Chain A
């Protein structure tokens, strides 16, 4: 096995050959194992956060507000109005936590990806594995929250069943963009910017009141943000106000997922396989 082999190296590389080994599962298994042995408490805490919001704002504040009129003109109880929004937020938070702070730590300090990428894994395996894990956590939170909603009578239609896949889509979008953004971060200060941007998005994306309270220009800005699309999509489903226009929200997330994956994979390749 010396010189001549170099030139008889004729096998054509597979299109994704250097990027993907089809083994994202092993990255997910690693995450599952790590969660089991060290950080399961963090996972549990994320589950209760949106439920606390629902109880305090939905039931507490809701007793003062009474009913509220949605964009489509439907009268619903205040709790039923904010519950789908909180569901979307829960999916977002679960996905964001895993794909930003967790990924940041693994990349900068634990050198976890360096180790992974010196095996036969490709950057797309790592990206997909980590994002799927974030997604799984988002799904877990969402399922729990949907059960709580159901038991409080806040699901107004059978369409609510579709809220679960919708929430997965939202989590996938945030996880994939979150990881892409994080892969460019170098310091803790930069990471804080993510938190700084997420908070206003959480508060103002028609989460707690209809979009119509804003003047037109502000409405336009809100409508460009990802969370608004998520909130509208889930709210349409749990309140049963389903229309074709909701496909736009789905499309928005599909684009997010794709862009996030492309950037993450590229970035991981530049960082670890230069």
Chain B
């Protein structure tokens, strides 16, 4: 569905995307994971055929976006990072009008709009003003809108950023349903849990470059240990303590606010810490996540 080879996007001298290659197969759910400014949105815009590449090759649905922008866009659904719903129109009108932008017949759009309102759980809000919707509802409406043309690929740029936990779970549930129905998804996110929930496969991007590629579980296995022990000694003490526990676990990361000890068994590491006479203010044993993969690869945390 999507083939990108050595994709580059430069703004003057600055390379926002610097030689990115990946492939997305039909029915796959593919993620671009990285911090703000990693080049995720720029990549999305190029795939969405609204931004031309500086170098490299890109094929979307077998077509080159430089030459077939409108044809490609007619088969994509786009959920941008910031909601750009039409606030001068009501909820259902948003879907109707958007469908007409694709040149679809009125009756077909009307039928589809009602199905999608149902899908987005917005049927009872059909006549509401857009501004009266909650953040989660706006997001669901944006997704419904992106589906109006029955797209072959759905592009989601940070779909749940800024939503409260409950709204995120509702949204994930909807996206998971789409995935089950075989919709190809390409999404960017800086939330690990989101990537782990929704992505079959993902690339970790940083500063316009791909750092690693694989399935979430596979990446965690490759770049991290099974468990992580998180310790807090207070910001003044962390560095000092780090010296005393060197050598424990497989690997240690010292962050400004906490120390991470990577190990197959977090509990037994904690026992050793206590035996060494150290008393952390808080301790937490958890499973490794993509956050740890990112930390390992870049030396930085995802959300700074």
A33 B70 Cβ-Cβ under 8 A: no
Minimal beta-carbon separation of B91 from chain A (angstroms): 11
Of residues 210 through 242 on chain B, the ones whose CB sits less than 8 Å from some CB of chain A are: none
The reply to whether A18 and B70 contact each other, CB–CB distance below 8 Å, is yes
Most B CB within 10 A of own CB, among A2, A33, A115, A272 = A115
A26 in contact (CB, < 8 A): yes
Q: Contact between B62 and A116 (Cβ–Cβ < 8 Å)?
A: no
* B residues contacting the other copy or chain, number (CB 8 A): 42
Return the chain B residue nearest A125 by Cβ: B101
Nearest-neighbor residue (CB-CB) of B73 within chain A? A120
Q: B119 an interface residue at 8 Å Cβ cutoff?
A: no
B166 at interface, CB cutoff 8 A:
no
Q: Does A21 contact B (CB under 8 A)?
A: yes
| Chain B residues within an 8 Å CB radius of A17 | 67-70
Partner of B74, one of A2, A11, A119: A119
Q: A33 and B84 in contact (CB under 8 A), knowing A13-B67, A274-B52? A: no
Mask of B17-37 contacts with A, CB within 8 angstroms, 1/0: 000000101100000000000
Given contacts A6-B64, A120-B74, contact A110 B97 (CB under 8 A): no
Q: Chain A's nearest CB lies how many Å from the CB of B67?
A: 5
Map CB proximity to B onto A32-60 as digits: 1 under 8 Å, 0 otherwise: 01100111000000000000000000000
Interface residues of B in 52-71 (CB under 8 A from A): 52, 57, 59, 61-64, 67-71
The answer to the question of A117 belonging to the interface, with a C-beta cut-off of 8 Å to chain B, is yes
CA distance A111 to B50 in the complex (A): 14
* Cβ contact within 8 Å between B88 and A23: no
The smallest C-beta distance from B2 to any residue of chain A, in angstroms, reads 9
A39 and B26 alpha carbons, distance in the complex (Å): 44
Note all chain B residues with C-beta closer than 8 A to A272.
50
Q: Report which B residues bind A (CB closer than 8 A).
A: 1, 3, 23, 25-26, 48, 50-52, 57, 59, 61-64, 67-71, 73-74, 76, 78, 80, 82, 84-90, 93, 96-98, 100-103, 149
A-B contact pairs, 19 of them (CB 8 A): A2-B23, A2-B25, A6-B3, A9-B59, A13-B67, A13-B68, A26-B101, A27-B101, A30-B86, A30-B100, A33-B93, A110-B84, A111-B80, A115-B98, A118-B48, A118-B80, A119-B74, A120-B102, A273-B69
